[in-house]
Structure 1
Amino acid sequence: MFALKKLVGSLLMPLPLLGLFTLLALFSAFKGRKFSLVIACLGLSTLLAISTPFVANLILKNNEPATLSFHPSKHPELDKIVVLGCDINPNPALSANNQLGNCALTRLVEGVKLAKHYPKSQLIVSGGGYENITNSSLMHQTAIDLGIDKNRLIQNPYAMDTAQEAALLAPKLVDFKVALVTSVLHMPRAQSLFSVEGITSIPAATDFHNFAAFPLHKQFVPNAQALLAVTQYCHEMIGTAWIAVRRWLDPEAL
């Protein structure tokens, strides 16, 4: 069920969805259905448009509020810092930090920064993985390499998604002052799932985008970074919709 959910979710992302949509339309066109050419052009045009910094900025600018970043001046004390898992690139020949993807590394840097600002706090690194390498183990080793005492670190290696992270970590977090570190687009969904488990968290968002800062000559040129950001946004929209459906079917779910 978990693998099926991930497969369906992946296929609904902009690149595979619009790509398959266009491929089917073109295949149909070869059979003489001219209308499919219009559909194919629409699919390709949409894909190219959402890959431009200009359109990406229109989509994301109201979904990455700076208020979700963490401000130490507002929080004199902190008990727990939770860094949620993200992308990894397992390769035992490389150091731990070089096996973390950009998203995971960005989150961990924020967590380590907060851990150094709050020396009495506990740093919890979360996330499962594959090929016998977990997100949490790579973050754990990288945090140690960055100067965090291993006695302050806790791993949560068995969670494969945010709902599992919240459920497994709840016993360690309830009644503590918790900073939740994750990507800004993911923060609303993550806080919602942790809240269901009885955890009140302080957002410490990372991974912000500002495509409006791109120079004009790059605003309308398709860009892989812009497409990735829009894909992350779509992932969160689908994840939020899935949670809403689950809660509608079963108010006790998620």
Structure 2
Amino acid sequence: MFLFKKVLGGLLMPLPLTLIVVATCLLFVSKTNIKSYIVLWLTLIGLWFISTPFFANKLMASAESQIRTFDVSKHRKIDKIVVLGCGVHLNTQQIANAQLTGCSSARLTEGLRLAHHYKNAELIVSGHNSARLMKQTAIALGISNNRVRANSTAMDTKDEAKLLAPHLVDRQVALVTSASHMARAKNLFWAQGVDTVAAPTLFYNLHNEPSYKQFIPQAAVLQAVTTHHHEMLGTLWIKLRRTINPEAL
């Protein structure tokens, strides 16, 4: 009964329920244009499949397995802790931390963990809209104002690397961002002459999903796949720009 309840509950979530309704409707659609009918079915099945933990784990496991969380015992000194922004839900009626997205909160939490361990390290929070809110949150959670630098003008990771490079060259830098974003971020900072130590967070760990959930689509899994796809496109864009102009990024 427990397994039946969990599977049924999973299928009644908005994403799988919508796909089931669409599939049911397709059964009654006229098949006069067989090619379009087949394409619709393939699209529907494809969307179902890429939204499952099984597919997402196959897609992301190899990339995540190559990244380890930051081990403070292996790094005696860190001068700068750079936390890259990841979006906000702006609402002046809310306190700063309530306006951070889950992604921004996860990154800031890792940055604060390191800041509390490396007492003399400067905490640099970055992002066009998120830097100010992350700084306010860091101060509210015990980091002194004079330890926190906010980089609010950067629009993307490329800008963050360029704008922060003068403060980071020849320093021991811990770079905090999502695990899926880490390779691209380190690459862009390296291009600016900044060698960083990876401090990844927000691992998806989808291989730990129970077996009865492996083939049920989930909105959170689709978001994870979308994030991974975004990073693939970002990496291809960097390669394209550097092919045209090696000094571009």
Normalising by structure 2, we get a TM-score of: 0.87
Describe the SS at the equivalent of 2:162: helix
Query: 1:211 and 2:206 equivalent?
Result: yes
The Cα shift of 1:68 comes to: 3.5
Matched residue, 1:33: 33
Distance 2:30 2:246 in 1: 48
Distance 1:157 1:68 in 2: 28
Match of 1:174 among 166, 169, 174: 169
Distance 2:40 2:132 in 1: 44
Distance 2:156 2:33 in 1: 42
Runs of 4+ in 1 over 2 A off after TM superposition: 29-33, 65-68
Match of 1:164 among 155, 159, 165: 159
Describe the SS at the equivalent of 1:191: helix
- Pairs within 5 Å for 1:26-105: 32-65=32-65, 67-105=67-105
Distance 1:32 1:93 in 2: 54
The Cα shift of 1:67 comes to: 3.5
Gap regions ≥5 residues in structure 1: 1-14, 129-133
Distance 2:67 2:211 in 1: 27
Gap regions ≥5 residues in structure 2: 1-14
Query: 1:221 and 2:216 equivalent?
Result: yes
Matched residue, 1:126: 126
User: Which residue identity does 1:204 align to in structure 2?
Assistant: A
User: Which residue identity does 1:127 align to in structure 2?
Assistant: G
Matched residue, 2:149: 154
Q: Which moved more, 1:211-220 or 1:186-195?
A: 211-220
Matched residue, 1:108: 108
Describe the SS at the equivalent of 1:202: strand
Give per-residue Cα distances to partners, 1:68-98, cap 9 Å, x unaligned.
Answer: 3211111000000000010210001011001
User: Which residue identity does 1:211 align to in structure 2?
Assistant: L
Q: Which moved more, 1:172-181 or 1:30-39?
A: 30-39
Distance 2:162 2:73 in 1: 30
User: Which residue identity does 2:139 align to in structure 1?
Assistant: I
Normalising by structure 1, we get a TM-score of: 0.85
- CA gap of 1:92–1:223, structure 2 versus 1, over 3 A, is same
